[in-house]
Amino acid sequence: MAETLNNHLWVRSEKKANERRVAIVPDDAKTLLEAGYKITVEKSAQRCIDIQKYADVGCEIAEEGSWTNAPKEAFILGVKELPEGDGDLVHRHIYFGHVYKDQPGWQHTLNRFVNGNGTLYDLECLVDEGGRRVAAFGYWAGYAGAAVAVKIWAGQKMGNVPPLERVDSYPNVDALLSDLRGQIQTIGEKPDMIVIGALGRTGSGATDLGLALGMDITKWDMAETASGGPFPEIQQHSIFVNCILATPECPRFVTAEDIKVADRRLSVIADVSCDPESKYNPIPIYNKSTTFDAPSISVVSEGTPLDVMAIDHLPSMLPLESSEDYSRQLMAALIDLNEPEKGIWGRALNDFRKNLARL
């Protein structure tokens, strides 16, 4: 393939704290290079994959944060949001923008694209002709979210305040499971769990974590929540993992009134979908995301405690597996990046233009 204006991929470093993922791994970068693409990868102090592995397959290496000086025709590929700022965005960016659901600051971010004549291809909007996302971190978000919920539950049982001081990333899944099994063995009992959205990617991940620990799991999806609530059954589980995205049609799963019941067993909510600032939040008992450094919010401290976890980059708890999985999925789209106004990319571009029209 001859070099064109549409075949330079610039993999930027991530600035979000504890974000160790990357959207493309070296083996897949090699495939793109062999297909004629040019790939530049920035150095990163926190990425889970060493920069030398990208150099070994033939990628060009750039300094951390140097994407602002990249050639204008380059596609800037990241995972999470860009660093905050007021500078005009002149490039074509590919990342999870979090600006299409009226999140705080969405207008400011989109105006940066307008002022710079840049473009956002939101990773969440890369969908096939049937509207299904072609690549998602959902499975590992669900897996990690359920794992953090178990850690919080264990901390409650041990009387820790807060129940979990911080979340750290693990080198692999086996290390995570070994840690969790050790905590459960120390306590001498297991929590049970209800997963809503169990048939999706995220719900499958949460369910698989529970199965790996031998937990009793109740699996709900659209059929079980079609009544619109209330759902007293949720209160009778130790852990509730929400894997349903906030939409106007989504019922409220847990409200301030629901958690007042005297016989509540529910003590941990893992809101993996994590959209607390949306007016459609299905768990309107908290209003801000949590972080690796402060994983949970205490909603009830007297009697049976209730803590909410809502970390918005959970797969970074297992950065290697989640990056390899996501990169493998994303490759089907990246191989067609030389035609950014057609197919998958064209649909994401239309979403960008529709949201610009809302400004």
Q: What distance lies between CA 45 and its chain's CA centroid?
A: 20
Distance CA 193, CA 94 (A): 35
User: Per the structure block, which two tokens stand in for 208?
Assistant: 């698989």
In the chain, what is the straight-line distance between the N-terminal and C-terminal CA atoms, in Å?
39
80 is catalytic: yes
| Paired residues of 39 in beta bridges | 9
Q: Are 189 and 216 in contact (CB under 8 A)?
A: no
Q: Are 281 and 246 in contact (CB under 8 A)?
A: yes
Q: What distance lies between CA 231 and its chain's CA centroid?
A: 26
Q: What is the residue-wise DSSP string for 152-198?
A: HHHHHHTT-SSS-S-----SSHHHHHHHHHHHHHHHT----EEEETT
User: How many C-beta atoms lie closer than 10 Å to residue 162's C-beta?
Assistant: 15
151 is catalytic: no
Catalytic residue among 8, 91, 98, 313: 98
Catalytic residue among 15, 30, 43, 80: 80
Distance CA 44, CA 198 (A): 35
* DSSP class of 141: H
Q: Are 176 and 147 in contact (CB under 8 A)?
A: yes
CB-side neighbour CA atoms (13 Å) of 35: 19
Distance CA 134, CA 123 (A): 9
Distance CA 307, CA 285 (A): 10
CA-CA distances (angstroms) from residue 133 to 94, 122, 268, 302? 15, 11, 29, 42
Residue recorded with tokens 């909007």: 125
Q: Are 68 and 55 in contact (CB under 8 A)?
A: no
User: Per the structure block, which two tokens stand in for 192?
Assistant: 């049970």
Q: Which residues are catalytic?
A: 80, 98
